Amino acid sequence: MSLVHIIDVESGNLQSLTNAIEYLGYEVKLVSSAEDLDIEKVSRLILPGVGNFGHFVDNLYSRGFEKPIREYIDSGKPIMGICVGIQTLFSSSEESLSSSGLGLIQGNLSKFNDSTKPVPEIGWNSCMPSGDLFFGIDPYKRYYFVHSYAAILDEHLEGKIRSDGWKIAKAKYGDEEFVAALYRDNVFATQFHPEKSSAAGLQVLRNFLKQEHPVTSYTSEEKKLLANDYSNFGLTRRIVACLDVRTNDQGDLVVTKGDQYDVREKSEGNDVRNLGKPVEMAQKYYTQGADEVTFLNITSFRDCPLKDTPMLEVLKRAAKTIFVPLTVGGGIKDIVDVDGTKKPAQEVASLYFQAGADKVSIGTDAVFAAEKFYSLGGRGDGTSPIETISKAYGAQAVVISVDPKKVYVDSPGSTKNKTFKSKIANEKGQEWCWYQCTIKGGRETRDVGVWELTRACEALGAGEILLNCIDKDGSNSGYDLELIEHVKDAVTIPVIASSGAGNPEHFEEAFTETRADACLGAGMFHRGEYTVGDVKKYLLQKGLKVRVDSF
Ligand code: 1PR
């Protein structure tokens, strides 16, 4: 079995990458200190990175990796950079002006323009067709991107990179073209995450490891169906499958599903609804084509010893065979372990990242953080889990899970929170409304609106919003479209619509009538009424681009 070396400077996606390479039949050795990088013995080297450019390159240099990496590159043996790994090949980034990259490419990285599209770019994009793509990168397949900064191309930068002998795979996010992958001699790098890009990404990784450049051909019909369009900034419509997980009365960890968050059967002894086993169900949705899988530990407010958290084991097992992004939520907060030791939220999150999670989602603690943000006059003090996790792992790793309820009022003056006039009046004829945030899975309401909460969390460093709706949860009546637009008006980070999906039409409705960046489904998938594939096929028929790995 061949050995692959991965540079380990504690960046978030190492476990996922390790899992993907092992799945392809290779052995992995993580190298966390420069002394252990014996370049004579290395035949394939990977430089992965996530999070902040400065944090990553400074860490690389302080651990003495610069010299051996340069020597390895000079030796002519294959090296591959991933995400911040590709960025490290450039000279600098607007993200951290005081830090320098390796400078193999004399160019700067800059931030996407967020006045025209959500930033970070999170989702499945494609490379633009061109005659000289490499390592089997396929313009009709989709790859998972998650980043705010990129080598954004203008004529000057593109000309310079090409004249230095690099081949470029270009992608387009909204109106900006950027470097999706690069290749010259023995150096290959991708801005996307092949280890999180399902079968298409694994293929690219395999091609690099084997040093092969296959080309897939398509019929003109297939090309028409699969070709990218830019109606959603170049991203496919992202479908997320969500698993609410808890222990039932028999002590088994089960996937459950509530109606307005009530997960107990109305009859038959009032048991917790048991819809299946978390890992098996997650694998099923991955096979059906889910673009992401989210696990929510819905009884996390009950404390349990950190290392025994059953969700860690779920994540570890799921991440071994599921190669799309995994999010885990529930209990991401500062905790006091049973032996009395304090564990900061960042440490809790890091255990999940090490287990294979790509993002953590924060519910209850996000409400507390927003309340504090406003009490400090609109700023954070650096201590909230949103701030600490975002600083260490990047904004893209921090999702805010919101559990709001609609509240009608007589007039906007009736509350300090942002209101709007709903098209759906209540039984009293009231039209003005706001959405009140709750904590502990809807058990307690707080005097903070979803508008205020999401804006505060964005300012504190969150990268995405998972927008549930207690009124709609489990109703099969479609998403709350007004709520989605209300939140899209509040923030520029991506918003995942959740709660209420009952059929494929509801996904189409949310994608065409709102600016939802992704749509999440739970009950309709768990009950077997529709598969993720059914939803995707329907959206494709309606002209909405989705990721399809195979027909
Ligand atoms: O507060 O940070 O510990 O996180 C707890 C997490 O658990 C939060 O993300 C919260 O949303 C979630 N949660 C808590 N209680 C429940 C419950 O259902 N009793 N589930 C719960 C939230 C919402 C979605 C659901 C959609 C789609 N579930 O995950 O899957 O509403 O459902 P549908 O498509 O069937 O309508 P913390």
pLDDT tens, 83-129? 999 999 999 999 999 999 999 999 999 999 999 999 999 999 999 99
As annotated, the active-site residues are: 83, 193, 195, 244, 403
Atom 2 of ligand 1: nearest residue by CA position: 363
CATH no. for 238-541: 3.20.20.70
- Please report the pLDDT score of residue 228 as a whole number: 92
Atom 8 of ligand 1: nearest residue by CA position: 363
- Return the CATH fold of 3-226: Rossmann fold (3.40.50)
Nearest-atom index, ligand 1, CA of 502: 34
* Ranges in the chain, pLDDT < 50: none
- Please report the pLDDT score of residue 266 as a whole number: 81
How do beta strands 167-173 and 176-184 pair? antiparallel
How many Cα atoms occupy the beta-carbon half-sphere of 113 within 13 Å?
A: 12
- Please report the pLDDT score of residue 251 as a whole number: 83
Nearest-atom index, ligand 1, CA of 476: 36
Mutate to test the pocket of ligand 1, among 244, 263, 446, 527 (most ligand atoms within 8 A of CB): 244
| Cα 298 to ligand 1 centroid, rounded to whole Å | 6
Classify 338 as helix, strand or coil: coil
- Please report the pLDDT score of residue 393 as a whole number: 86
Nearest-atom index, ligand 1, CA of 403: 11
What residues have CB less than 8 Å from 464, skipping those under 6 apart? Answer: 120, 122, 359, 396, 398, 399, 400, 493, 494, 495, 496, 517
Q: Which ipTM did the prediction report?
A: 0.98
* 3-226 against 238-541: fold identical: no
- Please report the pLDDT score of residue 445 as a whole number: 97
In SS3 terms, 352-406 reads as: HHHHCCCEEEECHHHHHHHHHHHHCCCCCCCCCHHHHHHHHHCHHHEEEEECEEE
Pairwise CA distance, residues 453 & 368, whole Å: 9
In the chain the first and final C-alpha atoms are separated, in Å, by 32
| Cα 310 to ligand 1 centroid, rounded to whole Å | 17
Q: Which two tokens stand for residue 261?
A: 């968050």
Nearest-atom index, ligand 1, CA of 297: 7
- Please report the pLDDT score of residue 245 as a whole number: 93
Ligand 1 neighbours (beta carbon < 6 A): 242, 244, 257-258, 261, 263, 296, 298, 300-301, 329-332, 361-365, 401, 403, 441, 468, 473-474, 498-501, 520-523
Nearest-atom index, ligand 1, CA of 362: 2
User: What does the domain layout of the chain look like in residue ranges?
Assistant: 3-226, 238-541
In SS3 terms, 167-200 reads as: EEEEEEECCEEEEEEEEECCEEEECCCHHHCHHH
| Cα 244 to ligand 1 centroid, rounded to whole Å | 6
What residues have CB less than 8 Å from 452, skipping those under 6 apart? Answer: 370, 374, 417, 418
| Cα 444 to ligand 1 centroid, rounded to whole Å | 14
Atom 10 of ligand 1: nearest residue by CA position: 441
- Please report the pLDDT score of residue 304 as a whole number: 62
- 345, 371, 379: which is closest to 360 by C-alpha? 345
How far, in Å, are 21, 152, 160 from residue 229 at the CA level?
31, 19, 28
Classify 413 as helix, strand or coil: helix
Atom 27 of ligand 1: nearest residue by CA position: 499
Pairwise CA distance, residues 507 & 513, whole Å: 10
What residues have CB less than 8 Å from 62, skipping those under 6 apart? Answer: none
